[in-house]
Amino acid sequence: MLKVCALYKAIKLPELIYNTRIDVQNKMTTRTDLRNLTQEEIVDYVESLGQPAFRGRQIMAWLYRPGISEFSQMTDLAKDFRRILSEHAYMSSFQNPLIERSKDGCVKFGFRLDDGKMIESVLIPEPDRNTLCVSSQVGCAMNCSFCLTATMGFIRNLSPAEIVNQVCAVGDFLRAESKGNLIGSDRVTNIVFMGMGEPLNNLDNLLKSLSILTEQRGLDLTNRRITVSTCGIVPQMQILGENSTANLAVSLHAVDDETRDKLMPINRRYPVAELIEACRTFPMAKRKRIMFEYILLKGINDSDAEAHKLAKLLRGIPCKINLLPYNESPAIPYKSPSYSRILSFQKILMNAKYSVFVRSSRGSDISAACGQLAREENSDIS
């Protein structure tokens, strides 16, 4: 039986409350979205409701099961407790995403948030994996000059639930598709934080979402298959490394401060030398490698001299290099280099004994390729 004082405490815990909702009688109620909480926080939450800790672990095991949308479906919880939960908590989900399919198999999802804002995620299916590129913010404050998301400006951070629900909704899509003729697995196997936003500018919610994604009773993904990409927020990189074993990707894109200042304003705060030093000291397990992302922009950063400088700059850092030929957009003036220029740049790095991959621009026909995510709707909705 629930104690009234415990209940009062539960709904007063400010860190547990992310969302307010209007109930069907149009009365404003504040309920806790359990999908915003890590397992540890759910345990605290149920304890504050006068329940034993194991009830929290039971709830966690239900929350991310496909097809579970109501507390009434959590059949190993007492009926009274399920009723109390539905009065004070809920589990959010994304419904009816906008779906655009690319000719090359990529699928772009548009999710409308409770406040009307839109975010996007991109599914990149391959025979042996399904990688999902997720968003961490609505818009982005970093203002990189080659990026369409930057043109939206920063609107707000996503909550942990809004990050995790992208993965859940695409999981539902995959399970439905697998009844047809899907090529790969019927679940999201890999996650890259390379959608809208700078994840390290939303570090608390990023870390919570990583906990939910990797918790065995949560989405049960391994950190080995999760990559967090940053434009180079040096202090937060260290915190990420100390609190997560997810892979790190660093958007470098230039080898000198003059060029990088123009491409990525964050470089004025954390210049190339400081960023590279942070990569050298990044807390990382043996055999792990940092992924350096390098967008090739015609005439800007794609010369042989720059390839040699890049090889020298990264010397001694366990790493791989992804070369990304620029995805041209009418809204942004940069051009992609010729194929022969790309190969020449790659060859110099390979001769210097780096693992170097040239990434193809998948999803570009539906504006789902790297740096192309932006929703015009967000500028119309206040």
Active site residues: 120, 370
Q: Is 123 in the site for ligand SF4 (CB under 6 A)?
A: no
DSSP H or E segment with residue 140: none
> Which residues is 98 bridged to in the sheet?
110
Which of 51, 121, 149, 211 touches ligand SF4 by CB under 6 A?
A: 149
Q: How many helices (H) and strands (E) does the chain have?
A: 12, 16
Cβ closest to ligand SF4, residue 197 vs residue 325: 197
Q: What residue has token string 């894109």? A: 253
Site string for ligand SF4, 318-357 (x = CB under 6 A): ----------------------------------------
Cβ closest to ligand SF4, residue 151 vs residue 344: 151
Q: What is the DSSP string of 319-340?
A: EEEEEEE---BTTB---PPPHH
Q: Is 124 in the site for ligand SF4 (CB under 6 A)?
A: no
Q: What angle do CA 304, 306, 311 make, to 5 degrees?
A: 95
Window 181 to 220, contacts with ligand SF4 (CB under 6 A): 197-198
Name the token pair of 206: 């990023």
Q: Is 37 in the site for ligand SF4 (CB under 6 A)?
A: no
* Total chain residues near ligand SF4 (CB under 6 A): 11
Cβ closest to ligand SF4, residue 198 vs residue 306: 198
Residue 82 Cβ, how far from ligand SF4 at the closest point, in Å? 41
Q: Is 16 in the site for ligand SF4 (CB under 6 A)?
A: no
CA pair distance 244, 239, nearest whole angstrom: 8
Q: Contact, 162 vs 119, CB < 8 A?
A: yes
CA pair distance 43, 87, nearest whole angstrom: 18
CA 301 from centroid of its chain's CA atoms? 27
Q: Is 120 in the site for ligand SF4 (CB under 6 A)?
A: no
Cβ closest to ligand SF4, residue 60 vs residue 300: 300
- Parallel/antiparallel/unpaired status of strands 107-112 and 118-126: antiparallel
Which of 42, 144, 219, 369 touches ligand SF4 by CB under 6 A?
A: 144
Contacts of 113 (CB under 8 A, 6+ apart): 119, 138, 158, 162
Q: Is 142 in the site for ligand SF4 (CB under 6 A)?
A: yes
Cβ closest to ligand SF4, residue 137 vs residue 211: 137
The residue ranges that bind ligand SF4 (CB under 6 A) are 140, 142-144, 147, 149-150, 197-198, 231, 371
